[in-house]
Amino acid sequence: MLNVNTLTARYGEAQVLQGVSLGVDTGEVATLVGRNGAGKTTLLRCLMGLHRSMTGDIEFDGTSIATLPPHKRCRLGLGYVPDDRGIYASLSVEENLTLPPVTGPNAWPLEKVYETFPVLAERRRQAGTHLSGGEQQMLAIARVLRMGARILLADEPTEGLAPLLVRQIGEIIRTVKEHGVTVLLIEQNVHFASTVADRHYLIAQGRVVESLDNAEVERREHELLEYLGI
């Protein structure tokens, strides 16, 4: 579904992605694992068209999207949840869900969003910022599904969350996958990653240094934690 070929990216003189190549198949959950500063956020921003200083190719469903602006990538079915979640503080849950435009035929009707995430239905009139961190993440993910995302690009959805809420995020990701949505997420918690994803790309200094399956992540958990400095 998504293929990235020798992608490089820079901020001014500093080249932070050094030729990243990776693939994510339809219906799969993949993670980007790596130390702070390895280039994971920049990679997701390049995929979404939000960081334009890049070279290399990005194919989505076999078509190159590398030169398309973000709104056209949205229309094709890419959905991005940034690390700050992007919840509008003064708007209700429902307004947060319905404000962005529906961009494609895969858009979830509001009823499907509420059926899949009943907490959002219960809280539909509350301000988005009155939700817990886990619920805000749920709202941010639900919003891109409502817009029509077929692949969810999520920047560390568990960051800063207590263990109970991390488990909730795991349930949300499994639910998203059950609905046939493909997921690429940044995740530092390798144990958690191995419980929600099918494969993992280890990123270091702007490169994919290894591609790992769950069995390998479990077997090498201590080594990976040490490597990540966690």
Ligand X SMILES: Nc1ncnc2c1ncn2[C@@H]1O[C@H](COP(=O)(O)OP(=O)(O)OP(=O)(O)O)[C@@H](O)[C@H]1O
Binding residues for ligand X (CB under 6 A): 11, 14, 16, 34, 36-42
Please tell me the distance from the alpha carbon of residue 149 to that of residue 75, in angstroms, as a whole number. 8
Main-chain phi, psi angles of 149, to 5 degrees: -65, 135
Closest to ligand X by CB, 14 vs 89, is 14
Closest to 107 in 3D by CA, of 179, 46, 4: 179
CB of 113 to ligand X, least distance (A): 28
Q: Which is nearer to ligand X, 38 or 149 (CB)?
A: 38
**CA triplet 63, 66, 71: central angle to 5 degrees?**
90
Q: Which two tokens stand for residue 142?
A: 């639900």
3-state secondary structure (DSSP) of residue 227:
helix
CB of 41 to ligand X, least distance (A): 3
CB of 209 to ligand X, least distance (A): 13
CB 92 within 8 A of CB 130: no
Query: Nearest distance from residue 84's CB to ligand X, in Å?
Result: 11
Closer Cβ to ligand X, 7 or 131, answer by number? 7
How near is the Cβ of 184 to ligand X at its closest, in Å? 13
| Identity of the residue, 51 or 146, whose beta carbon is nearer to ligand X in the bound complex | 51
CB-based contact 117:142 (threshold 8 Å)? yes
Q: What 3-state class would DSSP assign to 101?
A: coil
Is the CB of 34 or the CB of 134 nearer to ligand X?
34
